[in-house]
Amino acid sequence: MTASAVRLTARGITHAFRDLLVLEGVDLDAAPGEVTMLVGPSGCGKTTLLGVLGGLLVPRSGEVRLDGEVGPDCLNPVTYVFQDASLLPWRSVAGNVSLVLENSALPPPARAARVAEVLAQTGLSEFSHAWPKQLSGGMRQRVGIARALAVRPAVLLMDEPLSALDAQSRALLLDDFAALIASAGVTCVYVTHNLSEAVLLGQTIVVLSRRPGRVRAVLRIDRPIEGRQGEDPFLVAMQARLWSLIRDDAARAEREIADA
């Protein structure tokens, strides 16, 4: 699969739900084929920002642009992966993945080839006929990723894709994500509140303040994602820096939610 050549840019994004101001003047640059992490305390507007980036929400002000070439076989340039894969229980793994191709002009053999390809990419080939209820949470989440990749997206918007999983499944899937994201070569915006995930997968890390979310800092990790080790002193220091940036905000956000 070729690397995505698409850049996603947001400028001056402000958004409110009625009179609740959620995002204020947020800029974001997701470089082609890179992982841009979005971190910040609970309720600061991360999911809202992904909604704006993907065109699900029209911001009060600001603009989102996609620049560059979308591949000829791309069926949906901007595709989401959510916390919970929401698989249809009455369809097999392959059936859930092929669902997203059913309204396309692709002839059936091409669909089948694509399904087989993304199942192989996500390590699911031997589970192609399994039912969702037979799979662990981590495997179900893989199916969600396979389904997203099947449309050959230029941009993947991932909203806490690992946070519904137990620690072990999360660690396993995290390792595979690194390889997968690198090989799929898509431009990726990835929301997490888990700072070790942020330093293991992020190339650019955008730190949002508590609500209304504003950009507090943009950090850069210029090393390949594959092969990163959590114990690497540079990454440990980076994670400490991230925590120092959001600690006070996170503590306040926590209390606000408890009060509400």
Ligand X SMILES: Nc1ncnc2c1ncn2[C@@H]1O[C@H](COP(=O)(O)OP(=O)(O)O)[C@@H](O)[C@H]1O
Report the distance separating Cα 1 and Cα 4, nearest Å.
9
Check residue 15 and report its DSSP letter: E
Among 33, 45, 144, 161, binds ligand X (CB under 6 A): 45
By the rule CB under 6 A, 192 interacts with ligand X:
no
Of 16-24, 90-98, 165-173, 234-242: span binding ligand X (CB under 6 A): 16-24
| Smaller CB separation from Mg ion, 46 or 147 | 46
| Smaller CB separation from ligand X, 7 or 210 | 210
| Tokens 């600001």 sit on residue | 62
Q: Are strands 215-220 and 204-208 parallel, antiparallel or unpaired?
A: antiparallel
State whether residue 41 is helix, strand or coil: coil
Question: Contact letters (x/-) for Mg ion, 184-203, by CB under 5 A?
Answer: --------------------
Report the distance separating Cα 158 and Cα 82, nearest Å.
6
User: Min. distance of Cβ 62 from ligand X in angstroms?
Assistant: 15
Q: Are strands 155-159 and 187-191 parallel, antiparallel or unpaired?
A: parallel
DSSP for 47-107, please give it. HHHHHHHTTSS--SEEEEEEESPPPTT-S-SEEEE-SS----TTS-HHHHHHGGGTTSS--
Which strands sit side by side in the sheet containing 187-191, from one edge to the other? 78-81, 155-159, 187-191, 35-39, 204-208, 215-220
| Smaller CB separation from ligand X, 105 or 260 | 260
| Smaller CB separation from ligand X, 128 or 194 | 194
By the rule CB under 6 A, 148 interacts with ligand X:
no
By the rule CB under 6 A, 83 interacts with ligand X:
no
The answer to whether 10 and 50 are in contact (CB under 8 A) is no
User: Min. distance of Cβ 196 from ligand X in angstroms?
Assistant: 18
Of 38-46, 52-60, 68-76, 97-105: span binding Mg ion (CB under 5 A): 38-46
By the rule CB under 6 A, 42 interacts with ligand X:
yes
Report the partner that residue 44 touches, choosing among ligand X, Mg ion, none (CB closer than 5 to 8 A by kind): ligand X
CA 179 distance to own-chain centroid: 15
Report the partner that residue 140 touches, choosing among ligand X, Mg ion, none (CB closer than 5 to 8 A by kind): none
By the rule CB under 5 A, 47 interacts with Mg ion:
yes
| Smaller CB separation from ligand X, 32 or 45 | 45
Residues contacting ligand X: total by CB under 6 A: 12
Of 41-49, 87-95, 163-171, 175-183: span binding Mg ion (CB under 5 A): 41-49
Longest Cα–Cα distance in the chain: 56
Q: Where does the chain show beta strands of DSSP type E?
A: 7-17, 20-30, 35-39, 61-67, 78-81, 155-159, 187-191, 204-208, 215-220
Interface positions with ligand X (CB under 6 A): 17, 20, 22, 40, 42-48, 211
Interface positions with Mg ion (CB under 5 A): 46-47
